[in-house]
Structure 1
Amino acid sequence: MLDIAFLDASTLGEGIDFEPILKLGQVRMFASTSREQRLQHIGGAEVVITNKVVIDKEIMDACPNLRLICVAGTGMDNIDLVYAEQKGVKVKNAVGYSTHSVAQTTFALLLELYMRVSVFNHYVHSGAYSAGNLYTCTQYPFCELAGKTLGIIGMGNIGKQVAKIATAFGMKVCYYSTSGKNTSCEHEYERLELDDLLTRVDVLSVHAPRNPQTYNLIGEKELRRMKKTAVVLNTGRGGIVNERELADVLDEGIIAGAGIDVFEKEPFDAEHPFMLMQHPERLVLTPHIAWSSFEARTCLVGKIAENICNNI
């Protein structure tokens, strides 16, 4: 029977049916695995499933039965891919499971920045609406998405879905390819170099992987090139937008706002620059939830099971 160890199953949350994985062998499910517990939890497993637990040279050398590492997500930053290839250990991630979830969260952040729904909700619940003499509230102006320009960094599956939704809102879409190789969308959307894109867009949305080319891609210099009314969204990967410099630029009013779901360190410290801002109302934060709709997590379990079946 296939020996499978899931090292951090709690990262997939509650209410998810793991049966597609459980039926594939003897599955040992661990809610979490510390660095010190890795060898103990993996044991003689042939298949390891990990979301964020690091699998490096030390672990691969100490686990001779290991044949397949299944990443419970898309990013593989926690795996020593070069050494895995040298050892003949297959590494498979899950692709495409969260496209709709991330795109939806991207627009949830954008609409909060543009519409300020939470502010109006508080206005009504606080009693201010009942105490007033107007049928409406005009003290918090908002803008329409229609006619605005959205610039996408990273036109993969998620970037394309975001572009599709933006078009439905009446937005204009352009994009920047971080690899310089993605020309597949040029017939639909204008492809620009980063400097040109930054000066043109009303909304900048990041959907690229984090790698040496994208790390700190958007910092103070880039943000200062943008319109004063522009907003920045990152539901891609932490570390692509420099967080300290973004906080400073927002406090200065260089750009209008930002919506961030992913962070360089997760969770970040209580003294993080985002928590010390003078104008926190310009920043909408969510705790890396864009990937995690119920449907996306259910699909993820199925993708992991498929990867095991297809590679063992």
Structure 2
Amino acid sequence: MKIVMVEPINISMMKIEEYRQQLEAEGHQLIAYSSRAENDQEMIKRVKEADILIIANQPLSAKVINASKDLKMISVAFTGFDHIAMEACRENDILVSNSSGYANQAVAELAFGLVINLMRNIKDSDGAVRVGKTRKNLIGNELFGKNFGIIGFGSIGQKTAKIAAAFGCNILVDDHKQHKLGEELGVEYLPIDKLMQNSDIVSLHVPLKDSTVDLIGVEEIALMKKDAILINTARGPVVNSEALAEALNNEKIAGAGIDVFEMEPPIPSDHPLLNAKNTILTPHTAFATEEAFIKRAEIVFDNIEAWLAEKPQNVVS
């Protein structure tokens, strides 16, 4: 089988060589590109003879998939797969496996980095010290005793809940399923409107699909407390950025920590959140830790080995 890693997945060349030698010993070929393709034409050149494709979050269009006549399996080095033309994969009988779970800890930790930064004014405090100012107007708030709302109680949402509980927060979840962890943590299950009304912090951990586009829009943001903050480490289109910017600029909510946008960074200079008040913006870094990348590569190649053994895992199509 010809296996093509069409873009880097943030592991060392030494590690790639280890995987290459393992696959070659099994009679396969691994080709690993060190940069992204700039357009579909270049992608087609890279992929057209591949049996198996490894891709992270670079968009994979139907045009590329339809031109790849030998392609049988895609191992996605990412949790989300909304950047892949899944209908074309189904039409061409291409199996897709993702790397769900590799960044659960990383994403949950960054969510709390954003929360603490906003609640304790860390960015502004650093700026104040550097220009000779004091803590005036920088008095923050504690997490202890706050209502921590989690929208999306999957693996990452549950990791986030554990951390919130360790800080002494009350956990609110918009999920009707009864989870064992929820029972252990004393989670309160609420419909999304009640969660938005009662939370001091709202953290989003849902996948991107038709039902979650603009999940948090004008009406949902209007329900939030004036001193509440919103955290999005899920997917950009889950939040209506214009509605969020309007609420921030008019001080309808206290702040927002945003790691994801409607597009991959760099984001355009006229994006509404760039000039919104009381924001911490990060360039889609929630998943990006050394530990997560190592785990991700393990899952990517395990997915391939499982498929070769006719025991596919982590299948999304």
Q: Distance in 1 between matches of 2:71 and 2:226?
A: 53
Q: 4+ residue stretches of structure 1 with deviation over 4 A?
A: 13-16
Length-normalised TM-score, structure 1: 0.89
Q: What is the match of residue 133 of structure 1?
A: none
Q: Which runs of 5+ in 1 are unaligned?
A: 130-136
Shift of 1:22: 2.5
- Give the AA of the match of 1:99: N
Q: Kindly tell me: are residues 234 and 168 of structure 1, through their superposed partners in 2, closer, same or farther at Cα, counting changes over 3 Å?
A: same
Question: Residues 106-255 of structure 1: matches in 2 within 5 Å?
Answer: 106-128=111-133, 137-177=135-175, 182-184=177-179, 186-187=182-183, 188-255=186-253
* In structure 1, distance between residues paired with 2:198 and 2:162: 19
Alpha-carbon displacement from aligned partner over 1:254-297 (angstroms, at most 9, x marks no partner)? 000000001111122111112233x3xx0100000000111001
| Residue matched to 1:293 | 289
Deviation at 1:125, TM superposition (A): 3.3
Distance verdict in 2 for CA 1:266–1:13, change over 3 Å: farther
Indicate the percent of aligned positions where both proteins have the same amino acid. 31
Contact 2:105 2:159 in 1 (8 A): yes
Q: Is the 8 A contact 1:16 1:297 kept in 2?
A: no
Residue 128 of structure 1: how far off its partner (Å): 3.8
Verify: 1:78 aligned to 2:73, yes or no. Answer: no
Q: Does 1:96 align with 2:101?
A: yes
Q: What is the deviation of 1:20?
A: 4.9
In structure 2, relative to structure 1, the CA distance for the partners of 1:17 and 1:85 (3 Å cut) is same
Match of 2:261 among 260, 263, 270: 263
- SS of the residue corresponding to residue 305 of structure 1 reads helix
Question: 3-state DSSP class of the match of 1:213?
Answer: helix
- The answer to whether the Cα contact below 8 Å between 1:156 and 1:207 also exists between their aligned partners in 2 is yes
Query: C-alpha separation between the residues in 1 aligned to 2:14 and 2:242?
Result: 36
Aligned residue in 1 for 2:4: 5
Identify which range, 223-232 or 43-52, moves more after superposition: 43-52
Offset at 1:13? 7.0
Instruction: State the alpha-carbon separation in 2 of the partners of residues 56 and 269 from structure 1.
Output: 23
Contact 1:231 1:257 in 2 (8 A): yes
Alignment of 1:283 with 2:279, yes or no, is: yes
Q: Mind listing any 5+ residue stretches in structure 2 that lack a counterpart?
A: 309-317
Counterparts of 2:124 and 2:64, CA distance in 1: 49
Distance 1:36 1:205 in 2: 39
Please report how far the alpha carbon of residue 238 of structure 1 lies from its aligned counterpart in structure 2 after TM superposition.
1.0
Partner of 1:22 in structure 2? Answer: 20
Q: What's the TM-score once normalised by structure 2's chain length?
A: 0.88
Instruction: Measure how far apart 1:220 and its partner are.
Output: 1.6
Q: State the SS of the aligned residue for 1:107.
A: helix
Are the aligned partners of 2:52 and 2:72 in contact in 1 as well (CA < 8 Å)? yes
Map of 2:312 onto structure 1? none
> RMSD value over aligned CA atoms?
1.9
For 1:226-260, what per-residue CA distance to the aligned partner results, in whole angstroms no more than 9, with x for missing partners?
10000000001110011111011100000000000
Counterparts of 2:6 and 2:107, CA distance in 1: 24
AA paired with 1:284? I
Superposed CA offset, 1:165-206 (max 9, x none): 0000000001113xx6x3325534111111111110000000
**Alignment correspondent of 2:313:** none
CA contact (8 A) 2:62 2:88 kept: yes
CA contact under 8 A between 2:66 and 2:88: conserved in structure 1?
Answer: no
Show CA shifts across 1:23-72 (max 9, x none). 32422222101222111011311111112233344333322211110111
Residue of structure 1 equivalent to 2:70: 65
Distance 1:272 1:109 in 2: 20
Distance of 1:54 and 1:289 partners within structure 2: 18
Alpha carbons of structure 1 residues 125 and 311: separation in structure 2 relative to 1, 3 Å: same
